[in-house]
Structure 1
Amino acid sequence: MSTQLPLLQSLWDWVLTHDAWLHSPFFPVLFSLGAYLLLCLPYVVLDLLSPHVELIRRHKIQERSHVSWRVMWSCLAHSLYNHAVFIFPLTVLHWYWRRASLPAEAPGALRAAGDAVACLLLFDFQYFVWHTLHHKVPWLYRTFHKVHHKYTATFVLSTEYSGAWETLSLGFFAAVNPMILGCHPLTEMLFFVLNIALSVEDHCGYDLPWATHHLVPFGLYGGAPHHDLHHLKFKSNYAPYFTHWDRLFGTLHED
């Protein structure tokens, strides 16, 4: 048994005290939207300060890019619209179809970490295939994916700036993977937060010293520079997080 199990059990016990919320049809959409906005907030602050603070600008991937209030509000309104009009009705249907089953015990730490990483790797592969197809097939790009490429310089609130099809299909991958792998509900929540956090970091527009791609060795993780280059060049770096699929298929571009 992992020494971290008591911490996970305490966390899960706290989560279970909010049982009414967990069984509410509102919970999934509020959980994902709340996590997204909270994780975006530090980078929004950096975007607001960067025109005035040279130290922050030094870490911008595209140093000359600047995000206006108008663009930020436009992206935020677009995300809220997608959550209200598309994501919420589907989460209600999912709530009726699959009521939450909440065990009393938390998962073991090693099992939770292994399942979360497995979900992330599976999502990375699914996104790579989906993303490559939507760039290689002109009709798919024009009809669905072009919206997300409105901005060639990434910034954090562009993370969820996408059309309904893209929002729902990628959300489906993220939601179905824990079901496929039989994850504990706590692991599922941790994976959702991890996936949102990495996606937000991918689009933040900053190459910060403590970013994930600096922590993962051997260039196995692309991070914000990897994805920003995709928005700038369009024809490379299709995987969202890791680099192995782009290396394998010859679509990796490192600038």
Structure 2
Amino acid sequence: MNCHNSCELLDRGNPGQLLLQPVWDSMRTREELALSPFFPVVFSIISYVGFCLPFVVLDVLCPSVAIVRLYKIHPDFSPSARQLLPCLGQTLYQHLVFVFPVTLLHWALSPAPLPPEAPELFQLLSHVFICLLLFDTEIFVWHVLHHKVPWLYRNFHKVHHQNTSSFALATQYMSLWELFSLTFFDVVNVALLGCHPLTVFVFHVVNIWLSVEDHSGYDFPWSTHRLVPFGWYGGVAHHDLHHSQFNCNFAPYFTHWDRLLGTLRPAPLPAWQCACGRRCSDSGRLCTKCR
């Protein structure tokens, strides 16, 4: 986009679009990279591993650093190299051997140039939120089915539950069917809404982060679920309870479906909120010492 066209676009754009246009123009200077069939897989792997690495470092420090143990849901558990390496290896293998050919096929069948205009800020935020709600609903239904139907659980979902105490790199430790199911919902939602490529990019980053955080095993005062009022977002302790008890908290992010269908189980308070220095109870209430 030349200077004249760019200025003309900014003149007629609304404030929300003006805010994102410079960002989008910068991304469009790398259009060749963005439209490469390699980009989605490389971006997915780099984002995922990049979000996991800080938690891997914390897991290494956990046994010897008390402040780290304070925020860990299971302070006596740290994943070993025998647990970490197979998880990382399976993620890389599945993306390179299975996901990349599908990405390549999609690129060959439907090449599409990037639009010159950025999305409106409100449109981007609303589309990301709607995509998260749709994804949450689809995975809730998928998840319940794969727990209630023994054949589905045994053949497809059991892999993900091999680690009862979750850790970041176990987020994508799953069967190929489960990986493709999650990817399918992810791709279909942005297509149904006709999301702008920048919106798709933001949604993928947010979705990867939230899934990694949910499996990280660390409950911080600044964790995402503490930023959402009224307990409508479950968070890491909420999802950790699903991994340890199997029959509750099926939604990956929000809590409304579990509330409506009676499968919601409140997570216990973290140790840093309790005077006794431990998670008080499965009900989430303070123990006698902490009241």
Q: TM-score range by the shorter chain?
A: over 0.9
Which aligned pairs between 1:231-242 and structure 2 lie closer than 5 A? 231-242=243-254
**Residue 142 of structure 2 corresponds to which residue in structure 1?**
130
Among candidates 230, 233, 236, match of residue 224 of structure 1: 236
Residue 3 of structure 1 and its aligned partner are, at CA, apart by: 4.1
Which aligned pairs between 1:41-190 and structure 2 lie closer than 5 A? 41-190=53-202
**Residue 18 of structure 2 corresponds to which residue in structure 1?**
6
Q: Which protein is bigger by CA-based radius of gyration?
A: 2
**Residue 270 of structure 2 corresponds to which residue in structure 1?**
none
Distance 2:259 2:158 in 1: 24
Is the 1:86–1:168 Cα contact (8 Å) retained in structure 2? no
Structure 1 stretch displaced more, 24-33 or 62-71: 62-71
SS at match of 1:239: coil
Give me the CA root mean square deviation. 1.1
1:199 aligns with 2:199: no
Distance 1:116 1:8 in 2: 15
Distance 1:100 1:56 in 2: 46
Gaps of 5+ in 2: 1-12, 267-281, 283-291
Residue 130 of structure 1 and its aligned partner are, at CA, apart by: 0.4
Percent sequence identity over aligned pairs: 56
Distance 1:190 1:130 in 2: 24
Distance 2:61 2:167 in 1: 13
Is the 1:5–1:108 Cα contact (8 Å) retained in structure 2? yes
Distance 1:18 1:207 in 2: 37
**Residue 29 of structure 1 corresponds to which residue in structure 2?**
41
The two structures have a TM-score, normalised by structure 1, of: 0.97
Distance 1:157 1:104 in 2: 37
Distance 2:135 2:68 in 1: 31
- Partner amino acid, structure 1, of 2:208: I
The two structures have a TM-score, normalised by structure 2, of: 0.85
Number of residue pairs aligned between Structure 1 and Structure 2: 255
Gaps of 5+ in 1: none
